[in-house]
Structure 1
Amino acid sequence: MKKFNIIISLKLKLLTEIVFSFILTIVYLGTIAWYFLVPYFMKHEDNIDVEFGNFLISIYLISALLFFVMCFLLMSNRHIKYIKYIAKEVNLIASGNLGKNLEVKGKDELGELCININSMSKELKDKFEYERELERTKSELITNVSHDLRTPLTPIIAYLDILRNEKFRTKEEEKEYLNSSYNLSIKLKKLIDELFEYTKLSSKEVVLDLVEVDICPILNQLVGEYAPMFESKELRVVTQISDAELPVKIDVEKMVRVFENILSNAEKYSFKPSDIIVKADNKGDNVVISISNKGEYIEQDKLSRMFEKFYRVDLSRSSNIEGSGLGLAISKKIVELHNGQIEAECDGEIITINIKLPINCNVGGLR
């Protein structure tokens, strides 16, 4: 109904301008006739020149037609200027000035056209920036991953060459080479899997399988699974999880991946022996999950970069620690897909990662 009214609006404007131009032309005809033609014909009614009279009437009618056209053009001139303005701005958008907004004047078709052009311009800009970011990410991934891919591949090829040419001396040595090749292959597979996962999460087509759950049992179960491994490495897990239900709408599999990444990171970089503290509580409209560990002090500028892909806080230590450098970047992508936030803070030797998840919200990517 609204669109119908908008279409009628411009037609009415044009019709009104035509009618008004016609009325002015009638006034013009009457004025010219009353002050010039009628006095002339009355004065020369006895000896009027028919040919000259016809000429005057022709001039009179032609001038009326020109007057009508001039009036209509003057009144519709703003529409013409607006159309020229739209054409000029569209050319600027076509030349690469994406995201440019046109001034919307009125609520007729031209105004609606400007609104549609603005929407198209923004959509094109967003798409272009997304494609450019995707290309930049792809190039960055290739650059950063090339070294990580070569690292396990080189010894795998060397071990397989030894086995293929039977250069080992004993069965134990053969088994050792096989085990090393297998372990390095697993490491390589893990890296490739994480690359695929990060790329998939960066896509706009990613879909979350959302269900409403109580986050507390999930955390308790996960901590229980990790506790034996932590204890074997002189790490104790301390839980401070709310007794009350903390309902959130999440993709359980993906969110468990987030907690696993953070716990794995805490295990790798914690001082031994020390405690890893897992907290979960309700704060306002959010459920806040915090995982803290004791490790080396991290400066604020490095904390803000922890969730960048391939970023490692301490390169000298990281070279001896397994991992692709994508774990926290993947975690950030997943949390943001849930309309949540993830951040790191450091208080002396205590490093804490906080995850905020909305209790009730409409989450993007719902299936």
Structure 2
Amino acid sequence: MTGQKVKLTAREKSELIIEGIVTVMIMILLNFAVLVLFTQMVGRSQQVQDGIWLLKIGLNQNNNLQLWSWQWVFVVFMAIFDAIVVWWRLIRRYHQIQMRHVIVELHYIAEGHLGHRIPFVVKTDLQKVIDSINALVDFTVQSMEEERQIEKSKDELISNVSHDIRTPLTSIIGYLGLIEDKQYRSEDELLKYSHTAYVKSKQMKVLVDDLFEYTKVRQTGTHLNTSEFSLTNLLEQLAASFELEAEKKNVEITVTTKPDPLIMTADPEKLVRVFNNLLVNGLKYGKGATHIWLTAEALGQEIIIKVANDGQEIPNDSLSHLFDRFYRVEESRSQETGGSGLGLAIAQSIVALHGGYIYATSDAKMTSFVMYLPMAPGKKVEKPAVIAQQEEQHKENRKRSTHVSA
């Protein structure tokens, strides 16, 4: 919004004119009163008369000017003083009018017109008030927008959880209903129904556990139980725990750290959840992968950790959405591989809780999840400008899509 001067109405212009006329009349009366008093004072005091005479002689000698009577000197002095007073009164009244305009604009905004801003540009300290009001309104609008986004996010969370729980729950009730009504022809069919209900129950438990973990790490009051440990040993133990599952998929898991061992201070239990989610993600969705690399390297006060695989490339359009909750790449929506959709969102929240950040890269050769973590708690790893810009762009895109859908 371009700034503009305060436009005076006809009534306000008349108000200024009347103010000027009244001030001039008051000053004329005041001048006359002062002149009378000063004349009486001069007539009664010989010392004042001598001083005025000496002043006139000095002016005549220095400037070759004709001697002025002291009355004319007084008149000129009072005329200058009067002009200053009149100007000051007019400016003061004009500033009051400006303030009234600002108050009117403020009341207009307070009535709910939050898209409006005070457009005036003034040359006084009132400009600071105007700028502060506009900044406050901007902050209020932004806070309200964020609140709406949070409410919408909660609604989406409830909707997604309800949908993901209802699907297996419907199957469980259906198969248990068949068993309850004895609608099975053999013991094998009975075992099939009960097994299906059991598998669906496990899916529900995974979703509930992930949902609990996600809400837990997203809370502002969540604390880290930090301790010093060997990241090298932790990664090696995780690789060993996934060895059987990796062998079934003909995948080899390799662990490399620099230095070896790599010692850090963090919450090992929460970091295990991060690496567990990333390994599960790689084994489920890394189609065609033959290798998973777990690498960690200490650089100054930071640790760079990568979980990479040589599986199928993730589409570029999906990379920025991977850490959105309940987001799954389209090819991964099958019943066999589809998880809760919260794993990577949980990983991102835990990494942020440690003061770090995580992002993903993917091409035809390698898909990598890269984490930057501080060596010790209480410190925060600064994001590169490129990563921060990508995240901001992603947030803007989500807001636009939200407005379009609304």
Fold shared per TM-score above 0.5: yes
Is 1:300 matched up with 2:316?
yes
Q: Given that residues 102 and 117 in structure 1 are in contact (C-alpha distance below 8 angstroms), is that contact kept between their aligned partners in structure 2?
A: no
- Per the alignment, residue 139 of structure 1 pairs with 155
Could you tell me how far apart the structure 2 residues matched to 1:292 and 1:201 are? 24
Match of 1:254 among 262, 270, 288: 270
Tell me which moved more, 141-150 or 327-336. Answer: 141-150
| 3-state SS in 1 of match to 2:309 | strand
Find the counterpart in structure 2 of residue 209 from structure 1: 224
TM superposition shift of 1:335: 2.1
> Which position in structure 1 is the counterpart of 2:173?
157
* Match of residue 191 from structure 1: 207
Does the CA contact (< 8 Å) of 2:233 and 2:261 recur in 1?
Answer: no
The aligned counterpart of 2:16 is none
Aligned in 2, Cα 1:237/1:78: closer, same or farther, shift over 3 Å?
same
Deviation at 1:187, TM superposition (A): 0.6
Aligned match of 1:85: 102
- Whole-angstrom distance in 2 between the partners of 1:117 and 1:310: 40
C-alpha contact (below 8 Å) 1:208/1:251 kept by paired residues: no
Shift of 1:198: 3.2
Distance 1:345 1:89 in 2: 49
Q: Which has the higher contact order (CA 8 A, sep 6+)?
A: 1
Distance 1:184 1:72, change over 3 A: same
Specify whether residues 316 and 252 from structure 1 end up closer, same or farther in structure 2 by C-alpha distance, changes over 3 A only.
closer
Note if 1:236 corresponds to 2:241.
Answer: no
Counterpart position of 1:53 = none
Secondary structure of 2:192's counterpart equals helix
Query: 5 Å matches for 1:287-326?
Result: 287-315=303-331, 318-326=334-342
Question: Is residue 200–residue 206 contact of structure 1 (8 Å, CA) maintained in 2?
Answer: no
- Partners in 2 of 1:100 and 1:258 — Cα distance? 46
- AA in 2 matched with 1:207: T
Structure 2 counterpart SS, 1:355: strand
The alpha-carbon distance between structure 1 residues 241 and 104, as it changes in their structure 2 partners (threshold 3 A), is farther
Task: State the Cα distance separating 1:276 from its structure 2 match.
Answer: 0.8
163-172 or 85-94, which moves further after superposition? 85-94
How many residue pairs match? The answer is: 313
Give how far 1:313 is off.
Answer: 2.1
Which shifted more, 180-189 or 210-219?
210-219
For the Cα contact (< 8 Å) 1:213–1:248, is it kept in 2? yes
SS at match of 1:137: helix
| Residue in structure 2 matched with residue 4 of structure 1 by the alignment | none
How far does residue 316 in structure 1 lie from its aligned partner after superposition? 6.1
Amino acid in structure 2 at the alignment position of 1:211? T
- Counterpart of 1:274 in structure 2 is 290
Q: Could you tell me which amino acid in structure 2 is paired with residue 161 of structure 1?
A: G
What TM-score, normalized by structure 1, do the two folds share?
Answer: 0.68
Q: Distance in 2 between matches of 1:100 and 1:140?
A: 33
Aligned ranges for residues 1-367 of structure 1 at < 5 Å?
Answer: 31-35=31-35, 74-75=91-92, 78=95, 81-82=98-99, 85=102, 88-89=105-106, 91-92=108-109, 95=112, 97=114, 121=137, 124-203=140-219, 205-214=220-229, 215-244=231-260, 246=262, 250-271=266-287, 274-315=290-331, 318-359=334-375, 362=378
Q: Contact conserved, 2:288 with 2:312, CA < 8 A, in 1?
A: no
Distance 1:128 1:355 in 2: 32
SS at match of 1:276: strand
CA RMSD in angstroms comes to 4.3
Write the distance in 1 (CA, Å) between the matches of 2:124 and 2:376: 38
Q: Which region of structure 1 is more displaced relative to structure 2, 76-85 or 321-330?
A: 76-85
Distance 1:90 1:213 in 2: 58
In 1, the alpha carbon distance for the partners of 2:263 and 2:123 equals 48
Higher deviation after alignment, 94-103 or 265-274: 94-103
Look at both structures and tell me which one has the larger radius of gyration over its CA atoms.
2
Residues 122 and 38 (structure 1 numbering): CA distance in 2 closer, same or farther, change over 3 Å? closer
Deviates more, 1:151-160 or 1:70-79: 70-79
Q: % of aligned pairs identical?
A: 33
Q: Does the CA contact (< 8 Å) of 1:234 and 1:272 recur in 2?
A: no
Q: TM-score w.r.t. structure 2 length?
A: 0.62
* Distance across 2 between alignment mates of 1:244 and 1:122: 51
**Residues 235 and 100 of structure 1, relative CA distance in 2, 3 Å threshold:** farther
